[in-house]
Structure 1
């Protein structure tokens, strides 16, 4: 939790917050997406991401989060979409309630070494769309994952000469 959010939580306790977040839909050359086993989601698989900090752009936040959680340096290749609504409301094990609006970016690894941080993320793996949808994950992930793979397929098709 950021210092900013910790100060806010001191004032409001576990009350509901609406938070801007980012999600890194990171693909390899074979079209597999990077998934993370998130401890803070109750040991559920999800795409890496986190909260946008004060004065931080969403694109900078997604790059920072990927490096913090997964150890990889990513390049943002495109915007997949912005998502919110009832599926994006969560209560953490400590009772903190959030409703997040997330901006999802299509990304590729540019450097670093894949290594989950061991704090927020316990494990990571590259998965196909079928494998991703078979993982135990929050309901919001099931909503966005098809859009992520559709973005990847469309981005590859745009690179293929006719």
Structure 2
């Protein structure tokens, strides 16, 4: 028979669904009359890969410098306003997160001159590389709640240093 020596291997794996498309960060000087006198807004360009509305309830994030083995830089653990942090079916949108540097930065890296030098050199070219560990608690329009773990070994984050609060988003990301 023609198929006597035919061998076929099947590998059923779920198709990876990418929802984080880009990360940029505005660092705005003189934005607050109170210390630290500046503000930081992270912009996430995200895509809802499913054909249902999704509402984000909570985000737990740990950002590390260079990669997931690097020193911890930031912890962001917040409940979210589900009316503001939601995506329509298959929608692509930029979500903005105000950070609180005085309370959420992991200050341990300050004890490493090498780490500080590396961060300063990255800031000078307005691009930082970091590893991200994220757990998102979300609900899908049909009432199903799910924790979505996300891990990125090394993601590039564009930085924009601004003297005042800008009207556009760092990196030219659309709203």
TM-score normalised by structure 2 residue count:
0.32
Greater percentage in strand: 2
Greater percentage in helix: 1
TM-score normalised by structure 1 residue count:
0.34
Q: Which has the larger radius of gyration?
A: 2
